Structure 1
Amino acid sequence: MYIGVVSMRYAKALLAYADDAKVEDAVYREALLLKDSYAQVPELRQAMDNPVLAPDVKLRLVVEAAGGKVTKELERFVQLVLKEKREKFLQFMINSYIDLYRKQKNISIGKLTTAYPVAPEVVERIRKIVVSRTKGTAEFATKVDASLEGGFIFEIGTYRLDASVASQIRRVKQQFIEKNRRIV
């Protein structure tokens, strides 16, 4: 069976279960912690894929990776995943849950990359603009990348606004190269 189908089915079930129990926000926060743990600790995935480890050990690993104390809904979900021997798909299930939750709650994810650190007021002003346009909420990540030389790159969803000095210099350079090719 296709990984995406399995993970989406389980993620939908978790979202429905968390919605019924009115703890979808808490499960979302735990899922974000678990997602970060998977990204930062590659050994977690190896441990979950290890057939020698007992399910209760794997459950403790997941609980610890999700912050140490989790809702009973997430714990029961992980127990179900372990019982059905689908733990190798758990990372994909968690990512699918996060995507479904964000879609349900109309949460936009943005990334602002700048050449120099930006004041929190600027980030908040951008967040307010996005919120007013999307009629939802926005989560932002900020990053400083000195190679931009100035300006910024703003990404949200599938849109990307590149107003960096480095990309403008590349465009001008490319225009000169094209113009010189026509002359020669």
Structure 2
Amino acid sequence: MSISTVASRYAKSLIELAKEKNVVDEVYQDMVLFSKTADESPLLMKVLGSPIVRHEKKLGILKGLFQDKVNPVSFSIFNIITRKNREAILDAIADEFVKQYDLYKGIQKATVVSSTSLTPEVRKQFIDSLTASTGKTIQLEEKVDESLVGGYILRLGDRQVDASLKSQLNALKVKLVS
């Protein structure tokens, strides 16, 4: 079974447990904390994935880092995963939980890449337009890429709209050459 499938199953179970205990938002914050910690400390994930390090030691590390900082429901998944010898996928479970949380809360993430920073008015127009078309709450991430010259690239889920001047110039170039 693939890591993403296993992570998805654990994440779904965790979100169901969090709903049952009415601590979904707290568990979400805990999973974000774990993901951030794993990203900032690759050594942590190497240790958790190492077959040489005993599972009791791995659980001790997780206890030291997270037990006093996270909700008991969140820590229970660390405990279960350690007993099941799947510590190496804790980061994937945390990431999958965040996706499940977004689905549960009706949140859609979108990314806008533009040649300059968006003004508050343009940002609001993007959010309003995307909210109207998806019916979901939009979390808009902005990135600046000066090579676009003008326009923007919008990514929403698996869709992308390239309205950049750079792509239009490249299309014109291809048309002129052929």
Q: TM-score, normalised by structure 1?
A: 0.85
SS at match of 1:88: helix
One-letter code of the match for 1:167?
S
Over residues 102-128 of structure 1, what are the superposed CA-to-partner deviations in whole Å (9 max), with x where a residue is unaligned?
A: 222221110011101112332133112
CA contact (8 A) 1:48 1:58 kept: no
Which 10-residue stretch deviates more, 124-133 or 154-163?
A: 124-133
Residues in 2 aligned to 1:146 and 1:59: alpha-carbon distance in whole angstroms: 45
Check 1:148–1:85 CA distance in 2 against 1; reply closer, same or farther (3 A cut).
same
Match of 2:61 in 1: 57
Match of 1:11 in 2: 11
SS at match of 1:70: coil
Deviation of 1:75 after TM superposition, in Å, equals: 1.2
Deviation of 1:59 after TM superposition, in Å, equals: 3.4
CA contact (8 A) 2:62 2:78 kept: no
CA contact (8 A) 1:153 1:161 kept: yes
Check 1:141–1:37 CA distance in 2 against 1; reply closer, same or farther (3 A cut).
farther
Q: Which consecutive residues of structure 2, in runs of 5 or more, have no partner in the other structure?
A: none
Match of 1:41 in 2: 41
SS at match of 2:142: strand
Match of 2:162 in 1: 162
Deviation of 1:47 after TM superposition, in Å, equals: 2.3
Deviation of 1:58 after TM superposition, in Å, equals: 2.9
CA contact (8 A) 1:112 1:140 kept: yes
CA contact (8 A) 1:47 1:58 kept: no
Which 10-residue stretch deviates more, 28-37 or 166-175?
A: 28-37
Q: How many residues align?
A: 174
One-letter code of the match for 1:56?
G
Match of 1:76 in 2: 76
Residues in 2 aligned to 1:172 and 1:40: alpha-carbon distance in whole angstroms: 43
Deviation of 1:26 after TM superposition, in Å, equals: 2.1
Check 1:116–1:89 CA distance in 2 against 1; reply closer, same or farther (3 A cut).
same
> What is the root-mean-square deviation of aligned Cα atoms in Å?
2.0
Match of 1:105 in 2: 105
Q: Which consecutive residues of structure 1, in runs of 5 or more, have no partner in the other structure?
A: 179-184
Match of 1:22 in 2: 22
One-letter code of the match for 1:172?
L
One-letter code of the match for 2:95?
N
SS at match of 1:109: strand
SS at match of 1:163: strand
Deviation of 1:148 after TM superposition, in Å, equals: 0.7
CA contact (8 A) 2:47 2:53 kept: no
Over residues 5-55 of structure 1, what are the superposed CA-to-partner deviations in whole Å (9 max), with x where a residue is unaligned?
A: 321221111011111111112222332333233334322311221342611
For the pair 1:123 / 2:92, whether they are aligned, the reply is no
